[in-house]
Amino acid sequence: MLRAEFEGLSALKEAGVEVPGHVHYGVTEDWSWLLMEFISNVSPDKKKEEEGGRQLALLHRTTSDQFGWETDNYIASLKQSNTLSENWWRFYCDERLLVQLEMTIDKLPLLMRKQLERIILQGVNVFPDEKPALCHGDLWSGNRLYTQEEKAYLIDPAIYFGHREMDLGMTKLFGGFGDDYYRSYEMSYPLEQGWEKRVSITTLYPLLVHVNLFGASYLSLLQEAIQLTEIEVL
């Protein structure tokens, strides 16, 4: 897990995004460790949020010919499958939704399971056709840091080449990102019209992850996302 995080941080840095410096990882006897620069995080303001939006747009400008990643990695403590694909919808269904759904056998009500299976089997791709973008993969507010010097850092990635709306959807899931963040992103890398209507589809994956990690407390949010997604893709 720590090696995958190290590789993810290295990929972010190579894309030109700010990450903590002096990153190293290793194994000492029975311990694995990851060492990096300490960033003193401060509360966001307009300029910091604008810089955060620009940084995410810069990350998404790094593209590939296929969705996925050269190796599997992790989303929190769960394995994240990254088998390469040229089709975003199939990648999202096969490598994200189905993998997580298989873990939820004793956690999901039967109706919700059938709804998700129908979305996967009968759904159609409503995402705009774009080149695979390098995604952070776990972009909630706790994984971005701001400094007094107006710098915006990203940490704890679960990287892969995916649809960039996945990162934007994750920022909307639990909040913490202001309007200045999205305005700055759109000025740097405009989004296709209607992206906010597709947020529910992008959040199915992280919500399934949260159900598998933390249990039934996330079922109501997942149900809401399923119902909105059914309107968009069925």
- Residue positions annotated with a catalytic role: 138
Report d(CA 154, CA 9) in Å as an integer. Answer: 8
CB atoms closer than 10 angstroms to residue 96? 24
Q: How many residues does the chain have?
A: 234
Q: Tokens 């990690």: give the residue.
A: 213
Q: How far apart are CA 51 and CA 37, in angstroms?
A: 20
> Do residues 45 and 151 lie in contact, with contact meaning Cβ atoms separated by under 8 Å?
no
What is the DSSP code (8-state) at residue 93? Answer: I
